[in-house]
Structure 1
Amino acid sequence: MRITIFVTALLMSTIPGTVMASGTTAEQIYSSAENFLDAFAKEQASEGFSVMHDSGKLDARLSLATCEKPLEVSFSGDPWKTTQPSLLVSCEGSRPWRMFLPVSVTITGDAMVAARTLGRGERLTESALRTDSVVVNSTRRGAITSEDQLIGMEMRRGINAGTVFTPDLLLSPAAIERGDHVIISARSGNFSVNSRGKALASGGIGEQVLVENLSSSRTVRARVTAPGHVEIPM
């Protein structure tokens, strides 16, 4: 199936009225876009992903200011999070212009899916995971392709078997639970002082929690650095 590219967007020129019949043609723009997408598909194939891209004929009457340099093409949207990204085609010559071309890009490959129904708060283990061939870029959240990113994580909500794992489904497990005794490190550069404390809230690594210093009875806000360890700046 081929999808017609509609030239929707933005023509920018430093000189008004630079659209010229003898300038850059639709065929040149089409060829540059196709070459870019072919290179992207080849690059992803080396990583085990199959890429299909659909692009149709541009309006043959389209003609822009002549570009003395090869046209530059890049994605203006993330092709891993949508099947309808845009290409930015631009000329950086003496009469620069830009144009956005919507295209269809389908990236198929192995991604992680639920091997069974999973409940909210369930800790993920290897037995809960399997791989399946999916359209990886069919969700804006981005499909997770590595098992290492999942094992040990907790489910933010329940899902059915076969559901593709995306980052929004996951919670980092708490490294510290409320009431746990922790080591508080007050750090400045390479110098640190340790004291004992009690966590007043649960938190994962990198999160901030309130901790009671058992020596001074003061409550401080500290960053969780590891299970049983928090840190505050001096």
Structure 2
Amino acid sequence: MKSLSPPLWSWLRRALPGLLLGWALGVAAQTAPAPDALADIGPATQRWLDGALQQAQASGAGLRMEVQVGQLDPRLRLAPCARVEPYLPAGSRLWGRTRLGLRCVEGAVQWNVFLPITVKAWGPAWVLAGNVNAGKVLAAGDAMQDEVDWAADFAAVMANPEAWIGQVAARPLMAGQTLRQGMVRAPELFRAGAQVRVTVQGPGYVVTSAGQALGAGAVGQMVRVRMDNGRIISGTVSEDGTVGVAL
């Protein structure tokens, strides 16, 4: 396994002030503000990163982070500003393709713009060695470990092989795909119409009976069962295929 760099907030805290300053200098060339108009960008960015970024990117520890900074619309004509404040827009996070807000908080005109950025988080993950048909049970040989961009998709990476070995492909999968949550599901222990054992547990008692499953069942799923007396109940499927009902 390759050695990994410090987490995102540490890297971005060092790099972003310079990136923002470079952008702001380009704006300054268009708007010709006073020489000290950009003086507060570095400290403001530092404070913001110390707070929001360190908390928001705690999950990025141990990954090798990269940040690609896009460009603002060249048609923008922004008024001079003595203090530009960076912020993360509501509903956004520093992961994958996102944006960083920049707003003027001290100027004749209080403007607000968004700078597109792409955050990549490189780390070890499991990549499919070949195509996998939907419904196939995955074995250890179906994937190999490689360094991938965790932030290329919002679905979480299944870095632990126990999360996917023995699971079933939920859809057709292609060679080279990184295994992520939602790509596999637990295997079915029984199908609709199968006879299943039902365990009903209440205060101080346990009753075991039989019934007919009204749907397919996998470990941990809720399933409806029609009992011999016609009553329909819902319970959770256990590892041995028993449907447990708690009263």
1:77 equivalent in alignment to 2:77: no
> How far apart, in 2, do the equivalents of 1:190 and 1:100 lie?
61
Partner of 1:123: 137
SS in structure 2 of the partner of residue 163 of structure 1: coil
CA contact 1:198–1:212 (8 Å) conserved in 2: yes
1:231 equivalent in alignment to 2:234: no
Shift of 1:45: 7.8
CA contact 2:99–2:116 (8 Å) conserved in 1: yes
Shift of 1:109: 0.8
> How far apart, in 2, do the equivalents of 1:111 and 1:36 lie?
29
5 Å-filtered alignment, 1:178-189, equals 178-189=192-203
Shift of 1:124: 0.7
> How far apart, in 2, do the equivalents of 1:117 and 1:153 lie?
15
1:142 equivalent in alignment to 2:141: no
Q: Which has the higher helix share?
A: 2
CA contact 2:155–2:182 (8 Å) conserved in 1: yes
SS in structure 1 of the partner of residue 182 of structure 2: helix
Shift of 1:102: 5.7
CA contact 1:143–1:166 (8 Å) conserved in 2: yes
Q: Give 1:223's aligned amino acid.
A: G
Higher relative contact order (CA 8 A, sep 6+): 1
1:61 equivalent in alignment to 2:81: yes
SS in structure 1 of the partner of residue 44 of structure 2: helix
Shift of 1:202: 0.9
Partner of 1:13: none
CA contact 2:87–2:100 (8 Å) conserved in 1: no
Q: Please, which runs of 5 or more residues in structure 1 have no aligned partner?
A: 8-20, 66-70, 90-98
Shift of 1:137: 0.3
Q: Please, which runs of 5 or more residues in structure 2 have no aligned partner?
A: 1-14, 25-35, 71-77, 104-112
1:51 equivalent in alignment to 2:65: yes
- Give the aligned length: 204
CA contact 1:199–1:210 (8 Å) conserved in 2: yes
Question: TM-score, normalization: structure 2?
Answer: 0.62
> How far apart, in 1, do the equivalents of 2:53 and 2:69 lie?
11
Shift of 1:122: 0.6
1:155 equivalent in alignment to 2:165: no
Partner of 2:40: 25
Shift of 1:169: 2.0
CA contact 1:37–1:53 (8 Å) conserved in 2: no
